[in-house]
Amino acid sequence: MGKRGLSDDSGVNSNVENSVKVELTHKEGLVKELQIEIPAARVQTEMDKIFDEKKRSVTLKGFRKGMAPLDMIKKLYAEEVRLDAIDELIQATYPEAVREKTLRVATKPMVTDLQMRDDGGFMYTAQVEVMPEIDTISYEGLEVSYVELAVEDKEVDEIVEHYRRRLSELREVDRPALATDVVVADLRKIADPKLAVAQDSFANSEIDLGYRLTVDQFKTELPGVKPGDTKQVEVIYPEDYTDPSFAGARLTWQVHVKQIKERILPDFDDAFAARTGLAQTALELRLKIREDIHGQKEEAQHRYQRRAVMHHVCEKNKIMIPEGMVKDYLDAVVEDFKKQGNQFDEANVRENYRPMGIESMRWDLIWRKLAVEQKIEVLPADTDNWIRSYAERHGVTTEEAATALARSGRGEQLKESLQEEKVIDFLVNMATKVPFKKDK
């Protein structure tokens, strides 16, 4: 039974009189109900303390500050002090009750059913959600798919062309534009019903007709134009366009052509390879490109396997998540959508993000439990490896990287992240690897 000792001369009897009685009831799911009874002696002690503070702080007519009789203070402020005392005691006794019943609280309590007793004491009920108890984590029978990785020649060719374009030169020509040219033009917006673009004009815009990401309408309409020509081009963005502000937009531009530039691509030879700074010969460059593509595919497959095993282990361990935590997560998601300033259906957002939120919180509980079960710890070598990798990526020394980490104050956060990574690697290694099968 939780107790709150008082500094007086009444000894043990005073502690007994001030003892708080707590009864715990298990409700549905993760909800626990605490019925907390506060004796009259403790209420009176709290009220006396508040009355004393009130006496020192208030000024009554005819009395200097702090000199009004206590009886008068009690008469004037009895109800206010009683309510303040109840509030203070709820704030103090709820944490005491949680500690006494050793609850791992997950959400804020909901205080209800406040009842005053004839003797001056009171009782109240606090409902709260607790964290789930996890006996053990099941990960037997996990499977992850894989594919035999290969790099095709055309993939290497695409990267070679990317480097050739990056090191190419533009030369002005006096002829109609070809599908591989760059058109320099002044753009003026004529129509934009959705108001997708804030700016009305763009001077000296370079429209690269040979670039794969240039919008299709420019690629279709501008070949054949000459300097001095003016042409209207309507650009239509698909409904599923990646940028929501452009999705479904129809913009009409007046294009006043100023120059046509021809792109001069360098030959792919040893001299070109040296210019890239990646290799000394064309063959070495192709081999390096092939190696890089293979590494990227390995990393992509590794990321896929990690995500898959995290999802599968969450499916195998349907740990209940406190509803209050889910609500807090969805509230944060909705707030982020509001900050973006776009129109959205809040009910749909909450419905769509709910499964993701539950799985994310479930995974957090799972990996922490697995780390304990499997004694997976972060060793000094793990942190040293991270520091070396950070130093290489940012072009600094390991000492500078270590100093940056120390100054950031994120050492514990990094340790948790590395521990989680080790848990994921453990699960991937334990999973059976099966060949990937395409859907028919």
Tell whether 319 is covered by a domain. no
Q: pLDDT category, 332, cuts 50, 70, 90?
A: very high
d(CA 85, CA 91): 10
**345 located within any domain:** no
Residue 294 structure tokens: 């293979």
Residues 108 and 184 in one domain: no
Q: What is the pTM of this model?
A: 0.73
CATH number, domain of 188, equals 3.10.50.40
Does residue 246 surpass a pLDDT of 90?
no
Cα distances (Å, whole numbers) of residue 52 to 57, 120, 319, 414: 9, 19, 50, 50
Answer yes or no: do 84 and 178 share one domain.
no
Domain interval for residue 392: 374-440
Identify the weakest region by mean pLDDT among 238-252, 275-289, 320-334: 238-252
Q: Do 96 and 204 belong to one domain?
A: no
What per-residue confidence (pLDDT) applies to 5?
32
Task: Categorise residue 377: left if φ over 0, alpha if ψ from -120 to 50, beta otherwise.
Answer: beta
Pairing outcome for strands 169-173 and 250-264: antiparallel
Residue 214 lies in a domain: yes
Q: Does residue 18 share a domain with residue 101? A: yes
CATH of the domain at 25: 3.30.70.1050
pLDDT of residue 51: 86
Judge if 122 and 176 occupy the same domain: no
Statement: residue 13 has pLDDT above 70: no
* pLDDT given at position 12: 39
Q: How many CB atoms lie within 10 A of CB 373?
A: 13
Q: Over the stretch 111-157, which tens digit does the pLDDT of each residue have?
A: 988 898 888 889 999 999 999 999 999 999 999 999 999 999 999 99
Could you tell me if 31 and 114 lie in one domain? yes
Whether residues 19 and 88 share a domain: the answer is yes
- Per-residue pLDDT reduced to its tens digit, 56-73: 877 777 777 767 777 887
SS (H, E, C) 201-267: EEEEEEEECCCCCCCHHHHHHCCCCCCCCEEEEEEECCCCCCCCCCCCCEEEEEEEEEEEEEEECCC
229, 264, 299 - which closes a domain: 264
In a domain, residue 430? The reply is yes
The structural domain count of the chain equals 3
Q: Is residue 390 part of a domain?
A: yes
pLDDT tens for 100-112 read 999 999 989 999 8
